[in-house]
């Protein structure tokens, strides 16, 4: 962040307008200076861009080790905005009502059209974004996490830099027994964008998909998961440049360290399957 001061100020104003207890705010300048912020907002300016998970992990630690000074952490993209004033209170109520709930994924909607992109509904049956449900992953720029999750399973994987870091955390949380909810009534307004706008998109998506499998899946499922993903990628008929970047990322995912391997239990595989997202898709 750093080049959207007007959007950041609008987001901070929407957070300040939340009902109930005051929401403490930390803005992380991930390799960029933080513009002027309202009084009471803390800032952390990093000398270099640590990537999305690295920057968010710094934000977590700003609230004590693993965020231990607070019960819930909200993660919001700096060009988003909370259109409702009860979102923070809805989060508090949801976590209080369900002690197994570890993560809430908000619904992202375009501020002009109200449309939620299919890719922003974190489940396979994504045709109805207004339906809340249990899910198997979450959206990184619009979510709330119970800090006990970080204490139990650790933070986001720094080395991923961009893409799939949320699913890595989600799978570890699910394997530890936590639940994840997609809530259609908790909304973040965010302009409609294409993830491929990032120059590193195809390479990092490929590399991190391989790392995700190597880190988290039982050995028998790794080839099935990656084989399905390869087939789906080829069916989308990427451009030559995109395919070359993708192949480079795939190779990198196999030839570079992926971090600690902690394969999920088979009962977690079954749980993912019952939730509609077996870890081969």
Model confidence over 131-156: pLDDT tens digits?
999 999 999 999 999 999 999 999 99
Q: Stretch 187-211: mean pLDDT, rounded?
A: 87
Whole-number pLDDT of residue 123: 95
Q: Stretch 40-69: mean pLDDT, rounded?
A: 97
Whole-number pLDDT of residue 197: 54
Q: Residue 211 — pLDDT band, cuts 50, 70, 90?
A: very high
Q: Residue 281 — pLDDT band, cuts 50, 70, 90?
A: confident
pLDDT over threshold 80, residue 194: no
Q: Residue 12 — pLDDT band, cuts 50, 70, 90?
A: very high
Range in 5-9, 176-180, 221-225, 235-239 the model is least confident about? 235-239
Model confidence over 236-265: pLDDT tens digits?
999 999 999 999 999 999 999 999 999 999
d(Cα 88, Cα 125) in Å, to the nearest integer?
27
Q: Quick check: 105 and 180 in contact, CB under 8 A? A: yes
The per-residue b/e assignment along 81-112, b for 16 or more CB within 10 angstroms, e otherwise, is bbebeebbebbeebbeeeeebbbbbbbbbeee
Q: Where are the beta strands (DSSP E) in the chain?
A: 26-30, 42-46, 72-76, 101-109, 133-134, 142-146, 179-189
- pLDDT exceeding 90 applies to what percent of the chain? 95
Question: For the chain, what is the mean pLDDT?
Answer: 96
pLDDT over threshold 90, residue 200: no
Q: What angle do CA 93, 98, 102 make, to 5 degrees?
A: 95
pLDDT over threshold 70, residue 89: yes
Model confidence over 260-280: pLDDT tens digits?
999 999 999 999 999 999 999
pLDDT over threshold 90, residue 198: no
Q: Which has the higher per-residue pLDDT, 47 or 1?
A: 47
d(Cα 54, Cα 155) in Å, to the nearest integer?
9
* The two structure tokens encoding residue 70: 């607070």
Please report, for residues 15, 37, 47, 65, 172, the alpha-carbon distance to residue 272 in angstroms, rounded to integers and kept in the order given. Answer: 33, 41, 39, 30, 12
d(Cα 111, Cα 193) in Å, to the nearest integer?
12
d(Cα 46, Cα 55) in Å, to the nearest integer?
8
Domains delineated in the chain: 5-193 (3.90.550.10), 196-274 (no CATH)
d(Cα 100, Cα 177) in Å, to the nearest integer?
7
Short-list 158, 146, 152, 144, CA closest to 172:
152
Whole-number pLDDT of residue 19: 98
d(Cα 149, Cα 33) in Å, to the nearest integer?
30
In terms of C-beta distances under 8 Å and separation of at least 24 residues, what long-range contacts does 259-264 make, across chains too?
259/157, 259/159, 259/211, 259/215, 260/215, 261/214, 261/215, 261/216, 262/172, 262/175, 262/215, 262/216, 263/216, 263/217, 263/218, 263/219, 264/171, 264/172, 264/174, 264/175, 264/216, 264/217, 264/218
Q: Stretch 28-36: mean pLDDT, rounded?
A: 96
């Amino acid at each position: 962040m750093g080049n959207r001061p007007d959007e950041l100020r609008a987001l901070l104003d929407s957070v300040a307008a939340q009902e109930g207890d005051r929401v403490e705010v930390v803005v992380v300048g991930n390799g960029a200076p933080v513009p002027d912020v309202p009084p009471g907002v803390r800032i952390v300016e990093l000398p270099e861009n640590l990537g999305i998970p690295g920057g968010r992990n710094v934000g977590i630690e700003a609230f004590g080790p693993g965020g231990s000074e607070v019960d819930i952490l909200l993660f919001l993209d700096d060009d988003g905005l909370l259109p409702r004033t009860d979102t923070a209170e809805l989060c508090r109520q949801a976590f209080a009502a369900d002690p197994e709930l570890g993560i809430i994924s908000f619904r992202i909607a375009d501020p002009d059209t109200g449309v939620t992109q299919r890719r922003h509904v974190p489940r396979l049956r994504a045709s109805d974004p207004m339906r809340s449900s249990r899910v198997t992953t979450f959206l990184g720029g619009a979510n709330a996490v119970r800090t006990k999750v970080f204490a139990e399973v650790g933070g986001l994987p720094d080395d991923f830099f961009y893409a799939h870091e949320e699913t890595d955390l989600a799978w570890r949380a699910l394997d530890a027994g936590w639940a994840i909810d997609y809530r259609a009534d908790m909304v973040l307004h965010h302009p409609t964008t294409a993830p491929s706008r990032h120059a590193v998109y195809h390479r990092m998506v490929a590399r991190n998909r391989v790392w995700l499998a190597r880190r988290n899946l039982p050995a028998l499922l790794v080839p099935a998961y990656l084989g399905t993903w390869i087939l789906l990628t080829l069916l989308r008929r990427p451009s030559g440049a995109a395919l070359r970047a993708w192949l480079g990322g795939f190779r990198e995912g196999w030839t570079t360290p992926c971090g600690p391997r902690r394969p999920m239990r088979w009962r977690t595989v079954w749980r993912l399957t019952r939730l509609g997202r077996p870890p081969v898709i």
